[in-house]
Chains A and B, each alone.
Chain A
Amino acid sequence: MQGGAAGLAYRGRTASIGFAHGPLVRVDAGAGGERVAGTLVEEALALRKAIDLASGQIADLAASAGGEAAQILEFQVALLEDEDLIEAIFASIGEGRPADVAWRATLDEQIAAYNSAEDEYLQARSSDLADLRDRVVHILRGDAGEPLKIPSGGVVCADDLPPSRFLEIDWSGGGGLALLHGSPTSHVAMLARARGIPMVVQLGAIPDAGATALLDGEGATLELDPSAEQVRIFEKRRESHRKSRASARAILRRPTASWRGEHVKLLINIQRVDDLDHADAQYADGIGLMRTEFLLSGRSDLPDEETQFQAYDAVLRWAGQRPVTIRTFDAGGDKPVPGFTLDGEANPFLGVRGLRLCLARPEIFAVQLCALARAAVRGNLKVMFPMVTSADELEAGRKLFAGIVQRLQVDGIAAMLPELGIMVEVPAAALAVASFKASFLSIGSNDLAQYVLACDRSNGALAPLMDPLHPAVLELIARTAEHGRRAGISVSLCGDMAGDPRCLPALLNCGLRELSVNASALAQIKQTIDRLSSGGGVG
C-alpha cells in the first residue's frame, strides 16, 4: 500500500497524529483461567472486596493522571457506586451464580446495549465498561496487579484498549497505539491526543505475526516487519513532519508575517482567559476575537459586572499595548443560554441571536457594556457586535454604550467608549457594508458561509455544499476587504477559514491582511503565508 513497497501494510482511521517505530507488543484483553466458586456468602463477600479494591485502584490512577483522565475514570467509579447495578449482581449471586460469572453477565449486558447504540459516542463508552469488567474479573481471579510490560517506544496492538490500561503504560519513551477496533472519539483516543501518542484505530484483522511495527498516525497506517525500503520511506515522512513543525515554530519567533511585501497581521481567537496559556499565544500581534459566551456557561445565573470586568481586564493586561477585540455576547442560534435566550424559536439561526438578543434584553446587555467601558481605560480595547444586519442596530448599540459611559463618568468611575466595530456575518451587512459607521470590521466566515450558502453548518449531510471557498462567499469577503481599504478601516477575518492553510491563498487574494486564528494554528498559518509569499504552494 505504501509506495509499492513489499511487506504487510494496513490502513485504519486516525485517532492521534504522530509517528512510532518500535517493537510490536500485542495485548490481549480477555484473560483465561477459571476460579473455584465458594458458598453464596463467600461469593458475595469476594465481589464486595473486589469492587472496593477496583474502586481504590481506579481512584489511584485518576489521582496520578489528573485532568481529563481523572474525569474519564470518574465514570467507572460512579458505576461501581451504582446501587441499582450492583444490587442486581448480588441478587444473581444469591441465586447461586459465582461472583465472576454474575459480574461478567451483568456488565456484558450493559456493554451490548451500548454497542447497539446508534450514537458513536455511546458506542465508544462500551470500552470504559469493558475496562471495568476486566479489572474486577482479574481481581476475582487473583491475577490482578500486574501492569503491562511495554518496552520503551513499543507499538501496542490490541483489539481495543481501555483508558485505565493506557494510563498504566509508561509512555515516556514514546511508542504508539494500533487498535483493530476502537474509535477516534473514545476516551483512550482523547488521552492519546493529550499525551501526543500516535494512535490508529479500526485497522481490522491483522495476522498474528510481526515483531517490528511502523505506525503513522497521520496516514493512519500500520506496517509490520517492514523492509529496509519501507523503513527508509517511513523515516523520511517522520523527518519531514518533525521539520515542518520545528520550522513553523522557528518562524513564529520572527516579528511579522508578510506577503508580497505587505505586512499580514496575525491575531488569535480566544474562548476564555485560559487560552492565553498556550505557548504560541505570545507571538500573536494581538487578540482578534475574544468570545465572551464562556462567562454565560457553567453557572446558574448571569455573570455580574465585576466578574466580567476581571476577565476583560486580565486579557488586556496580558496583551499590553497590543489590540484586544472583545465580542459582546453572541448567544442564541446554536448557543442557548437559560434566562437569556428565547425558547421555542422555530429557526434559531435566523432568530433573535447576537446583537439582536442583546438589544432585546438591554438590562443584561448593560451589565456587559458597563464592564467593557471600565475595561476600555485599561488597555487597547476594541469592542464588536455580532450578528448585525442593519446600520440602525449598530447605532442603537452605540447609543446604549455611550449612555453607560456617561453615567459611569458622572459617578466618578474611570470609563470610556472603546472603538466600535461589527462582525460581518449576515450577507446583508456584507453587501451594504458602506452603510455602517463602524471603526473596524471582522468577517465571521463560518456564519457568513452558512447564510450565503443556505447550509446549516451543523448538518453533516450538507458538508460537501458547505464550501467556504464558494465564489459567492469569496465575493463578499473581497467586497468587504475592498471597502475597508478605501475607507481606511481595518478588516480582519476570524472564522475557521483563517486557520485553514488551503483557504489562505484565496483570503490573501481577496485583499485581507489581518487574520485571527486559534493559538495552536498560529505557527502553521505564519509558515504558510511565508511559503506562499516566496512562491511556494500551500504545503
Chain B
Amino acid sequence: MLDKADGQIFTGSVRLVHAVGMHARPAVKLTKLAKKFQAQISVRVAGAPEWINAKSVAKIMAMRAAHGSTIEIKASGSDAEAAVAALVDLVASDFPDGAG
C-alpha cells in the first residue's frame, strides 16, 4: 500500500543503541515523533518480512527490536524526507529526554 502512495519514498536505516532495545519508553517517543508528520511512515527490523506502522506503539513494541539491531525506516507523503531524518536522529541519539 505504502509503495503505491503518491510521491517519492524516502528511506533510512539506523542502529538501535538503546541498552535494552525498543522497550516502552523508546517506543512511546518514536510513535509520538512519527505522529508529528503527515507522511505514512513504516519501520522494520532490518530484513524482517513485514513493515510496521511507526505510529502504532503496540506494533512497535511487538516488533521486539533488540539492542544493536538495525531499524529500517521508509516514508511517503509531503514531509516524508523530514520524517525519516527526524526518526533516524531520534534512534541514533538514543531517545533523549524531551525529544519526540
Are B97 and A82 closer than 8 Å at their CB atoms? no
The reply to whether the CB of B4 lies closer than 8 angstroms to some CB of chain A is no
Measured CA separation A299–B92 after assembly (Å)? 9
The residue that B32 contacts in the complex, of A72, A78, A83, with Cβ under 8 A, is A78
Chain B 45-74: CB-based contact to A (< 8 A → 1; otherwise 0): 000000001011111011010000000000
Chain A 316-332: CB-based contact to B (< 8 A → 1; otherwise 0): 00000000000000000
Measured CA separation A85–B95 after assembly (Å)? 24
Within 8 A of A (CB), among B20-62: 20, 23-25, 27-28, 31-32, 53, 55-59, 61-62
Are B94 and A298 closer than 8 Å at their CB atoms? yes
Within 8 A of B (CB), among A97-147: 110, 113, 117, 119, 121-122, 125, 128
Most buried by B among A72, A113, A297, A300: A300
CB neighbours (8 Å) of A298 from chain B are 93-97
The reply to whether the CB of A280 lies closer than 8 angstroms to some CB of chain B is no
Are B92 and A79 closer than 8 Å at their CB atoms? no
Sample of 16 more A-B contacts, CB < 8 Å, known A82-B58, A125-B61: A71-B25, A72-B24, A75-B27, A78-B27, A78-B28, A78-B31, A82-B55, A82-B56, A83-B56, A110-B58, A119-B64, A298-B96, A300-B89, A336-B15, A336-B17, A338-B17
CB neighbours (8 Å) of A225 from chain B are none
Within 8 A of B (CB), among A423-464: none
Measured CA separation A298–B29 after assembly (Å)? 13
The reply to whether the CB of A74 lies closer than 8 angstroms to some CB of chain B is yes
Are B25 and A84 closer than 8 Å at their CB atoms? no
Are A84 and B24 closer than 8 Å at their CB atoms? no
Measured CA separation A78–B55 after assembly (Å)? 10
CB neighbours (8 Å) of A117 from chain B are 64
A297-B94, A336-B17 as given contacts; A113 in contact with B62, CB under 8 Å = yes
The residue of chain A having its C-beta at the shortest distance from the C-beta of B31 within the complex is: A78
Nearest chain A CB to B78 CB, angstrom units: 19
Report the contact-size class of chain A (Cβ under 8 Å from the partner). Answer: 20 to 34
Nearest chain B CB to A328 CB, angstrom units: 20
Measured CA separation A71–B97 after assembly (Å)? 11
CB neighbours (8 Å) of B17 from chain A are 336, 338
Are A300 and B62 closer than 8 Å at their CB atoms? no
Main secondary structure of the interface of A (DSSP, over half): helix
A122-B64, A300-B92 as given contacts; A84 in contact with B28, CB under 8 Å = no
The reply to whether the CB of A343 lies closer than 8 angstroms to some CB of chain B is yes
A78-B31, A82-B56 as given contacts; A128 in contact with B24, CB under 8 Å = yes
The residue that B56 contacts in the complex, of A84, A121, A122, with Cβ under 8 A, is A84
CB neighbours (8 Å) of A79 from chain B are 57-58
Are A121 and B23 closer than 8 Å at their CB atoms? yes
Nearest chain B CB to A62 CB, angstrom units: 12
CB neighbours (8 Å) of A74 from chain B are 25, 28
The residue of chain A having its C-beta at the shortest distance from the C-beta of B95 within the complex is: A298
A82-B31, A121-B23, A122-B64 as given contacts; A299 in contact with B57, CB under 8 Å = no
The residue that B55 contacts in the complex, of A71, A83, A119, A300, with Cβ under 8 A, is A83
The residue of chain B having its C-beta at the shortest distance from the C-beta of A336 within the complex is: B17
A128-B24, A338-B17 as given contacts; A84 in contact with B59, CB under 8 Å = yes
Nearest chain B CB to A302 CB, angstrom units: 11
Nearest chain B CB to A271 CB, angstrom units: 14
Nearest chain B CB to A105 CB, angstrom units: 14
Within 8 A of B (CB), among A286-308: 297-300
Nearest chain A CB to B66 CB, angstrom units: 9
Nearest chain B CB to A116 CB, angstrom units: 11
Chain A 41-85: CB-based contact to B (< 8 A → 1; otherwise 0): 000000000000000000000000000000110110011011111
CB neighbours (8 Å) of A71 from chain B are 25
Nearest chain A CB to B39 CB, angstrom units: 15
Measured CA separation A128–B23 after assembly (Å)? 13
A74-B28, A75-B25, A119-B64 as given contacts; A82 in contact with B57, CB under 8 Å = yes
Are B23 and A85 closer than 8 Å at their CB atoms? no
A to B CB contacts below 8 Å, 11 in the list: A75-B28, A78-B27, A78-B31, A78-B32, A79-B57, A82-B56, A84-B59, A119-B64, A128-B24, A298-B94, A299-B96
CB neighbours (8 Å) of B94 from chain A are 297-298
CB neighbours (8 Å) of B89 from chain A are 300
CB neighbours (8 Å) of A83 from chain B are 55-56
Chain B 7-19: CB-based contact to A (< 8 A → 1; otherwise 0): 0000000010100
Are A85 and B58 closer than 8 Å at their CB atoms? yes
Q: 7 tightest CB-CB pairs across the interface, nearest first?
A: A298-B96, A84-B56, A300-B93, A78-B57, A75-B24, A78-B28, A338-B92
Within 8 A of B (CB), among A398-421: none
A78-B28, A297-B94, A299-B96 as given contacts; A121 in contact with B55, CB under 8 Å = no
Measured CA separation A274–B25 after assembly (Å)? 21
